[in-house]
Structure 1
Amino acid sequence: MNNSIVVIPTYNEIENIEAIIRDIFCLKQSFDVLIIDDGSPDGTANVVKNLIAEFSGSLHLEERKGKLGLGTAYIHGFKWALQRGYEFIFEMDADFSHPPVDLIRLYHACAVENHDVAIGSRYITGVNVVNWPINRVLMSYFAGYYVRLITGMPVMDPTAGFICYTSKVLKTINLDEVRFIGYAFQIEMKFNAWKFGFDVVEVPIIFTDRTKGASKMSRGIFKEAVLGVISLKINSLFKRYIPKHQALK
């Protein structure tokens, strides 16, 4: 069995889903793919079902009823992957904002360089964002500054959604206690990994905004991130983080 799987949550991604799946399976390195679809009314799941026979054993689909949120989709996918023994578990978007070819670089960072978490970072070498309006670039960049200021976590792109987690990280974090569902989910996962003492590295990528389909960004998601960072920091003061070398004994 492959030791790597890419978890991709979808909601109305019919314009992108087949292309992103094919691009991943065309890579020189082998990755399995798990699609978590939240009842997309546009038929995204049906497209995936039609591809499963072609990529038998490597392409998987989990369907959920209703739009339940990005964070819960990833938690569902992480648990699914851990139950099946995957060692390197990736998260990425379906809209090509995360270049599929960079999956190989994230894998290398964890599998060869022995980092525990590898983040596809938009800001570790400047601002590497294409097709975003300047106000959104500034909002995203300064959100990272805000997260670092409040939490002390030394990550330049804490809201990034293109990540490789090793299984030991996801086994150590209590996934049932992860509270947030939007950008705050991304921050919470990285914060937990960092607090547990795992080695987190940022790998520079070029982020390109979607050209097909609609963004899922909303005011509610942004508000959750702003307020969530404060509660995350406060709650961490009352939580014991067992270092990684002890947590898995």
Structure 2
Amino acid sequence: MIIPTYNEAENIQPIVARVRESVPDAHILVADDNSPDGTGKIADELSAEDDHVHVLHRKGKEGLGAAYLAGFRWGMDNGYGVLVEMDADGSHQPEELPRLLTALKGADLVLGSRWVPGGRIVNWPKSREFISRGGSLYSRVLLDVPIRDVTGGYRAFRKETLEGLGLDEVASAGYCFQVDLARRAVAAGFHVVEVPITFVERERGDSKMSRDILVEALWRVTAWGVGSRANKVLGRRPAKRR
């Protein structure tokens, strides 16, 4: 379980406890971007008390994508066969993790989805839902990926899947990092499965969503889509990584 953190001092202890209760065998890596509110120190204290909790201290805030990439490398270097993305704020419910892991037995990548039948959101304003639904629809159509929730961040990967995604080429730092990995998985021929989740708006702390993150996502997705269509017109096919 990779949990990136930046100023999540109020949330890190509860989310770690819920993960440990939901999947007792799971190991947790807190990837902290040098949080000024002391999140890293709290994570160190949790790690000292529990050998299933580990901490990766990073130099500073470099974005969600960079934190996950560092976490993936740490996990693969330490021999983990399954790596899971999860937010620290409780929006991704640890109690639903067993469903993702069960689905992974027949898949290469499992996405916790808000926009498939059975999925739902709790306590979101309509404006936020519009942005999220619109972003997934725009990405799905422009990139031609058969995924309903392209932007979601509750995901379970097999190690072999991550090894086949060309992670060294991933440059997106914000939330479009999720779109990037999804499109790479589809292009590489991996079996991607979506399972419904209930996404709950955070109760404590501040959201990391910003205008800059949305702008980055828009221009990167547009560039990927235009590039993909240009390659089709020119008869170029993306190389399979498997």
> Shared fold by TM > 0.5?
yes
Matches of 2:188 and 2:124 in 1, distance apart? 34
| Structure 2 length-normalised TM | 0.94
Point out where structure 2 has 5 or more consecutive residues left out of the alignment: none
Matches of 1:175 and 1:133 in 2, distance apart? 34
Q: Does 1:15 align with 2:10?
A: yes
User: 3-state SS of the aligned residue for 2:22?
Assistant: coil
Write out per-residue CA displacement over residues 104-130 of structure 1, whole angstroms, 9 at most, x where no aligned residue: 11111112xx20000010001166111
- Name the structure 1 match of 2:26: 31
- Name the structure 1 match of 2:205: 213
Matches of 2:67 and 2:239 in 1, distance apart? 25
Matches of 1:59 and 1:25 in 2, distance apart? 9
The alignment of Structure 1 onto Structure 2 pairs a total of residues equal to 236
User: 3-state SS of the aligned residue for 1:53?
Assistant: helix
- Name the structure 2 match of 1:3: none
User: 3-state SS of the aligned residue for 1:26?
Assistant: helix
Q: Does 1:96 align with 2:90?
A: yes
Matches of 1:183 and 1:125 in 2, distance apart? 23
- Runs (4 or more) in structure 1 with deviation over 6 Å come to none
Point out where structure 1 has 5 or more consecutive residues left out of the alignment: 1-5, 245-249
Do the aligned residues in 2 keep the contact of 1:118 with 1:164 (CA within 8 Å)? Answer: yes
- Name the structure 1 match of 2:74: 80
| Structure 1 length-normalised TM | 0.91
Matches of 2:176 and 2:237 in 1, distance apart? 18
Matches of 2:61 and 2:23 in 1, distance apart? 34
Matches of 1:48 and 1:243 in 2, distance apart? 36
- Name the structure 2 match of 1:117: 109
Matches of 2:157 and 2:53 in 1, distance apart? 19
Do the aligned residues in 2 keep the contact of 1:29 with 1:104 (CA within 8 Å)? Answer: no
Write out per-residue CA displacement over residues 45-100 of structure 1, whole angstroms, 9 at most, x where no aligned residue: 110111112211x1110111111110000000001111111111000100000000
Give % identity: 41
Once the two structures are TM-superposed, the CA of residue 234 in structure 1 deviates from its matched residue by 3.8
What CA RMSD, in Å, does the superposition of the two structures yield over aligned residues? 1.4
Matches of 1:233 and 1:204 in 2, distance apart? 27
